[in-house]
């Protein structure tokens, strides 16, 4: 498999056009060890093309979150991250300083987590938290950022957003908090959204509403999505491609139809057997 950029052989082709042909996320041979001993990821290959929704499915402890955090540059300092390639929109993420990562995170690439309370600030209003990336990355003034935040709250279907914009996270239900997280992650219209089990903590009806919302927004905004879950049923409707991860390795990868109609690996078969 070659990794060559598209040739810009013609004289007048701007370099930008060749960069846009690169996958939004390109991970080749990603390995992560903690404290030198435990190899948690063992040579993961994963790509997410423009506008694609790729699901990573695997059981608890298989390395899903670690691969997401490695991509976002959010692993603790004692993690050793190695890769043949780890790039975002054709730009290498490894090695990248904290300053460069901060410029990307919440701006060009964003992440949402299983439990919004781990990433929402409990002592900051939800409005202020959605405005934060706009002020930081877009240098927007307070009044304009508030209008954009309000529109975003409306878009993620928070009821009565004008009343809720000045509320604190604990004043909202889990489902609404997850919508706030999505608003915060997407407010700068990132090219890549990494969603790490964003519906796992929610009850089933809310789960499917949130899934539908993520799917709508990615189409609307042209955002590529890496969607992480332990639940194969969750991804059955929205995935373009599926990668099955087991014990730190991708054991099977294919289009949704390939995986659902003709699963090959014993672990994938076990995942199907576990479905209700
Ligand atoms: P999951 O697929 O459930 O998201 P994780 O990616 O969180 O799994 O974890 C994969 C493995 O890495 C687990 O064995 C976990 O204990 C280990 N691990 C995760 N984070 C750390 C850390 N900060 N330090 C040491 N080990 C970790
Ligand atoms: Mg996890």
pLDDT of res. 151: 97
pLDDT of res. 63: 97
Distance 21 CA to ligand 2 centre (A): 30
pLDDT of res. 15: 41
pLDDT of res. 14: 39
Q: Are 96 and 73 in contact (CB under 8 A)?
A: yes
- Ligand 1 pocket test target in 65, 80, 115 with most atoms within 8 Å of CB: 65
Q: How much helix, strand and coil, in percent to the nearest 5, is found in the chain?
A: 40, 25, 40
Distance 75 CA to ligand 2 centre (A): 13
Q: Are 188 and 200 in contact (CB under 8 A)?
A: no
Q: Are strands 25-34 and 79-82 parallel, antiparallel or unpaired?
A: antiparallel
For ligand 1, atom 24: residue with the closest CA: 34
Q: Are strands 91-92 and 85-88 parallel, antiparallel or unpaired?
A: antiparallel
Residue 247 Cβ < 6 Å to ligand 1: no
The contacts of residue 244 (CB under 8 Å, 6+ apart) are 56, 57, 58, 250, 251, 252, 253, 259, 265, 267, 268, 271
Vertex 69 angle, CA 226 and 270, to 5°: 60
Question: Phi/psi at 68 (nearest 5 deg)?
Answer: -65, -45
Residue 47 Cβ < 6 Å to ligand 1: no
pLDDT of res. 74: 93
Alpha helices (H) along the chain:
15-19, 64-72, 98-104, 126-137, 142-155, 161-164, 174-186, 204-221, 232-235, 256-261, 266-274
ipTM of model over 0.90? yes
Distance 54 CA to ligand 1 centre (A): 21
**pLDDT 10s per residue in the chain (276 long)?**
344 444 434 333 334 444 456 899 999 999 999 986 788 999 999 999 999 999 999 999 999 999 999 999 999 989 999 999 999 999 999 988 889 999 999 999 999 998 876 789 999 999 999 999 999 999 999 999 999 999 999 999 999 999 999 999 999 999 999 999 999 999 999 999 999 999 988 888 999 999 999 999 999 999 999 999 999 988 888 999 999 999 999 999 999 999 999 999 999 999 999 887
Residue 63 Cβ < 6 Å to ligand 1: yes
């Amino acid at each position: 498999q070659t990794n060559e950029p598209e040739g810009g052989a013609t004289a007048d082709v701007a370099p930008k056009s060749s960069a846009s042909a690169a996958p939004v996320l390109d991970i080749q041979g990603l390995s992560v060890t903690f404290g030198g001993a435990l190899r948690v990821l063992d040579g993961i290959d994963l790509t997410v093309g423009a506008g694609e929704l790729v699901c990573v499915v695997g059981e608890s402890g298989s390395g899903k979150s670690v691969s997401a955090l490695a991509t976002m540059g959010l692993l603790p300092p004692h993690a050793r991250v190695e890769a043949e390639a780890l790039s975002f929109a054709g730009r290498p993420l490894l090695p990248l300083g904290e300053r460069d990562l901060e410029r990307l995170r919440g701006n060009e690439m964003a992440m949402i987590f299983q439990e919004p309370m781990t990433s929402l600030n409990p002592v900051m209003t939800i409005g202020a938290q959605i405005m934060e990336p706009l002020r930081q990355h877009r240098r927007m003034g307070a009044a304009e950022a508030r209008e954009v935040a309000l529109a975003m709250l409306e878009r993620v279907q928070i009821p009565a957003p004008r009343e809720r914009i000045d509320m604190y996270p604990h004043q909202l239900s889990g489902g609404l908090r997850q919508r706030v997280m999505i608003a915060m992650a997407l407010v700068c219209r990132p090219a890549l959204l990494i969603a790490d089990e964003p519906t796992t903590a929610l009850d089933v009806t809310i789960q499917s509403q949130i899934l539908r919302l993520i799917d709508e927004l990615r189409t609307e905004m042209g955002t590529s999505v890496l969607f992480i879950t332990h639940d194969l049923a969750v991804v059955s409707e929205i995935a373009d491609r599926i990668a099955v991860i087991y014990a730190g390795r991708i054991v099977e990868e294919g289009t949704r139809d390939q995986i659902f109609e003709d699963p090959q690996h014993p672990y994938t078969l076990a995942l199907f057997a576990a479905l209700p």
